[in-house]
Amino acid sequence: MQITINTPALLFPCISLLLLAYTNRFLAIANLIRGLKSKYTSAHEPHVLKQISNLRRRVIIIRNMQALAIASLFCCILCMFLLFGEYEQLGQLSFAVSLLLMMVSLILSLSEIAISVNALKIELKDVESDLEKSDLEKENN
């Protein structure tokens, strides 16, 4: 397969948007942790501590997602330099590594989303039981 210098350039917008999305997720979680830390400091609720632990795990995953996306961008740039220098096989290898790094980053993103959804399910369990009680009361009246 022959790739040109334009081929790795196609990934630049994708990687940039991924990094932006990852940064937004990181900032949202950082704000949640700060809020929960204040809440825990004042009330020492074990349920808040579990949430902080879950968020800490997610922050580590997001950090790894960002590192892999940055490494993918670096490999894209390296690929372009190698192709520019007419080192086609090394350029192809660098591009393949870039794609692999992006794929691992996306897999981590999917796992972070799964953790987030599970955390929301746990958080909403109390609300769902209250909703069920409310629905039963409406049916009885």
Predicted model pTM: 0.81
Residue where the block lists tokens 């950090």: 63
DSSP code at position 45 = -
Task: Phi first, then psi: give them for residue 140, nearest 5 degrees.
Answer: -75, -25
Helix 46-84 to helix 11-43 angle (10° resolution) is 160
Task: Phi first, then psi: give them for residue 3, nearest 5 degrees.
Answer: -120, 150
131 vs 31, 118, 121, 124, 128, CA distance in Å? 28, 19, 14, 10, 5
pLDDT in tens, the chain (141 residues): 788 888 888 888 888 899 999 999 999 999 998 998 888 888 888 778 888 888 999 999 999 999 999 999 999 999 999 999 999 999 999 999 999 999 999 999 999 999 988 888 877 876 777 777 777 677 776
How far apart (Å, rounded) are the C-alpha atoms in residues 35 and 52? 10
How far apart (Å, rounded) are the C-alpha atoms in residues 31 and 55? 10
Q: What is the pLDDT of residue 141?
A: 65
Q: What is the pLDDT of residue 29?
A: 92
